[in-house]
Structure 1
Amino acid sequence: MTSQSSPRAQFGLILPSTNTVVEAEFNWMRVEGVSWHTGRIYIPDPVLNDDASFVRFLEGLRTEIGRAVRDVVTAKVDYLVMGMSAETFWGGADGAAEFEKWMKDLSNGLDVTTGALACKAALDAYGAKKIGVITPYQPVGDQQVRDFFEQMGFEVAEVHGLKCETATSIGDVTPEEIKEAFRKVNADDVDLLIQAGTNLPVARVAPEMEIELGKPVLAINTATVWHAYRTNGILDQFDGFGSLFSEH
């Protein structure tokens, strides 16, 4: 339901309690007449230092996510946006579709933008075929991201995971570390570079890498905001966050 302060859209934004990047980056990209209303998923243990702890993190997230959705829909938001990444890629194409349906069920029928499906839509907007991917994840998470993109019909040249040790430390990765990760997955025959992991601060780094590498470089938070806007008829274009918002 729109309001006096947000006549174009009120978005319910769901993210882990450990995330410190999404709200900042989403607000940088907020256009006049829309608002973000956050529901946080309680994360009791942010440790991610091996595959087993990464899986436990996701299991805990799935247990708590219903409470975050329950709370945010009381604001009578128009649409859900997932400010989280790994769970939306989990299980490949089928898992992404099941997650989207689950969110609609939890919210009593609200449509939703997920990170994984927003990335797919952005890749389609560019006509990309072969991609390089960076993540903050452990190998088990990297494989899920690879599986999703390959099942969606893209060739994945390489996935480079930064293996961040905790959910909070993802937000501490420096711009230069992010740039170097993109360079590692780049090659002449790669059409586009993209990032997973919403707590990795990439929204302002990606457009710098587009200039350096001469090809599209996409941050997942940028793709998610773009998809939420375009799906809701918000067609504003602006500079500062790369070619996705300035050209598509």
Structure 2
Amino acid sequence: MVGRTFRIGQIVPSSNTTMETEIPAILRAREAMRPDERFTFHSSRMRMKKVTREELAAMDGDSDRCALELSDARVDVMGYACLVAIMSMGHGYHRTSQQRLHRRTVENGGAAPVVTSAGALIDGLQAIGARKVAVITPYMQPLTAMVVDYIEAEGVSVLDRISLQIEDNLAVGRHDPAKLIGIAKSLDLSQVDALVLSACVQMPSLAVLPAVEDAVGKPVVSAAVCTAFRMLEELGLETIAPDAGALLSGRYTRQPARAMAQ
């Protein structure tokens, strides 16, 4: 018997094809474990085709409109589903974005907590106690360097990284996740606490994440899995879902950081 339905809102780049696949997949799988819960999914889009600093900055300017549109639907939680757009705006910008977009929902009479995939990745790594990580990104080298710098500014050292150098965002979404198994094995993971299998919400990884975690013997996360983790926290739900790696095993539960002013 269904006890409650939760409305999940996502602000996504117009060319993103993955977050509206992986977030629902994680939460639909959770429904099988928690039959008293149901989730519905709602999106608003920001124009972006190529992953460049210029397009990312222009796209971020659209996020306020998207937050307003989603708050019209009275969603229960909202996710800003573009990690690199947030990180390209400077250190700590995920906090600024979350607070600003939350204010838009309050002003519209549909107050909802807002998480960003950038902030969620940091929070997810902190939740599992990861201080040293390796990272796989689809980005060109300069954007990968920027992502690494952002992560390290939050107190997490990146000991190894691979940049797949894919600029077109649709091509990122078409990257075969099975290739990530071999790519992950090519990294030096000897000293890391965790692997970020996809530091990009557009590069699919959920289908192979458990297999990679088994192969490397360390916690494996992705930007999408971390976003789902933070959404569950903000909804006040246990952070558990099947086949999504250690972070959503139920072993890592924190008190949600509800610092957004009502």
Is the shorter-chain TM-score for this pair beyond 0.5, marking a shared fold?
A: yes
Identify unmatched segments of 5+ residues in structure 1. Answer: 49-53
1:97 aligns with 2:100: no
- In 1, the alpha carbon distance for the partners of 2:62 and 2:89 equals 19
Deviations 1:46-77 (A, max 9, x none): 234xxxxx112202212322332222111011
1:39 aligns with 2:39: no
- In 1, the alpha carbon distance for the partners of 2:153 and 2:117 equals 16
Q: TM-score, normalised by structure 2?
A: 0.83
Q: What's the C-alpha RMSD, in Å, of the aligned pairs?
A: 2.0
Q: Is the 8 A contact 2:79 2:116 kept in 1?
A: yes
Cα drift, residue 201 of structure 1 = 0.4
1:163 aligns with 2:165: yes
Q: Is the 8 A contact 2:133 2:157 kept in 1?
A: yes
Aligned pairs, how many? 237
Q: What's the counterpart of residue 85 of structure 1?
A: 83
Identify unmatched segments of 5+ residues in structure 2. Answer: 32-36, 253-262
Q: What's the counterpart of residue 51 of structure 1?
A: none
Q: What's the counterpart of residue 240 of structure 1?
A: 243
Cα drift, residue 229 of structure 1 = 0.4
For residue 103 of structure 2, what is the amino acid of its counterpart? D
For residue 217 of structure 1, what is the amino acid of its counterpart? V
Identify the match of residue 154 of structure 2 among 152, 155, 172.
152
Q: Judging changes above 3 Å, is the alpha-carbon distance between structure 1 residues 236 and 98 closer, same or farther for their aligned structure 2 residues?
A: closer
Cα drift, residue 8 of structure 1 = 4.5
Provide runs of 4+ in structure 1 moved above 3 Å: none
Q: Is the 8 A contact 1:90 1:96 kept in 2?
A: no
Segment of structure 1 superposing worse, 191-200 or 29-38: 29-38
Q: TM-score, normalised by structure 1?
A: 0.87
Cα drift, residue 184 of structure 1 = 3.2
Q: Map of 1:209-228 to 2, 5 A cutoff?
A: 209-228=212-231
Q: Map of 1:1-248 to 2, 5 A cutoff?
A: 7-30=4-27, 31=31, 32-43=37-48, 46-48=49-51, 54-108=52-106, 110-194=112-196, 195-235=198-238, 237-246=240-249, 247-248=251-252
Cα drift, residue 170 of structure 1 = 0.4
